[in-house]
A and B are shown apart, each in its own frame.
Chain A
Amino acid sequence: AQKITQTQPGMFVQEKEAVTLDCTYDTSDPSYGLFWYKQPSSGEMIFLIYQGSYDQQNATEGRYSLNFQKARKSANLVISASQLGDSAMYFCAMGTGRRALTFGSGTRLQVQP
């Protein structure tokens, strides 16, 4: 069975600072993908970043980077230079093969001015 654990229900960060959102996962599949999604208060799910289990380098997308530590089964999201618009729920998810994604419980990030 696959499992995603996000241990931080809520996080605060000052504007312009960096923040790390934690995610650990568990799977017996050797091939898998790890995703981060942002869900603002309006409700839509916005894809942020993807990391494949065989990718040698950590994924980056603009201000988002994924700190992938395979041996520790962690896939933390790092947001650099936080902006007020980053305030939202953030979900870590994992997918294997053609199966649906398994989501964590989410972390609510609040960026303070």
Chain B
Amino acid sequence: DSGVTQTPKHLITATGQRVTLRCSPRSGDLSVYWYQQSLDQGLQFLIQYYNGEERAKGNILERFSAQQFPDLHSELNLSSLELGDSALYFCASSPPGFRETEAFFGQGTRLTVV
């Protein structure tokens, strides 16, 4: 158990809908990252938050948004869903300090758009 909690584990929804994925980082971790893994592909970085503020953006679509709340949990909002958005979405958190890029991953949310 990495200590990073993602909910829900599975989500099935229809095209055009909006969903929210939730992530609770490890205790003490300030950074939260969101990644997308499409079928049989590597992980693509979407967005990073650090202590409540957006730190970096990757290949995140305009239909997607995220935020990190004062208690450091984060939510990834996906709207106007398309079939191609079906993927495994991971949240990761990392601690402050020397090995700041060390990332601990949640178990992922498997999103299926039908």
* A43:B102 contact, CB within 8 angstroms: no
Query: Which of chain A's residues have a CB closer than 8 A to the CB of B41?
Result: 105
Q: Nearest-CB distance from B79 to chain A (Å)? A: 22
Q: Nearest-CB distance from A27 to chain B (Å)? A: 12
Q: Nearest-CB distance from B43 to chain A (Å)? A: 5
Query: Which of chain B's residues have a CB closer than 8 A to the CB of A45?
Result: 43, 90, 92, 105, 108
Contact of B101 among A37, A43, A101 (CB under 8 A): A101
A100 at interface by CB-CB < 8 Å = yes
A47 at interface by CB-CB < 8 Å = yes
Contact of B100 among A35, A98, A105 (CB under 8 A): A98
Binding site for A on B (CB under 8 A): 2, 31, 33, 35, 41-45, 48, 50, 55-56, 58, 88, 90, 92, 99-108, 110
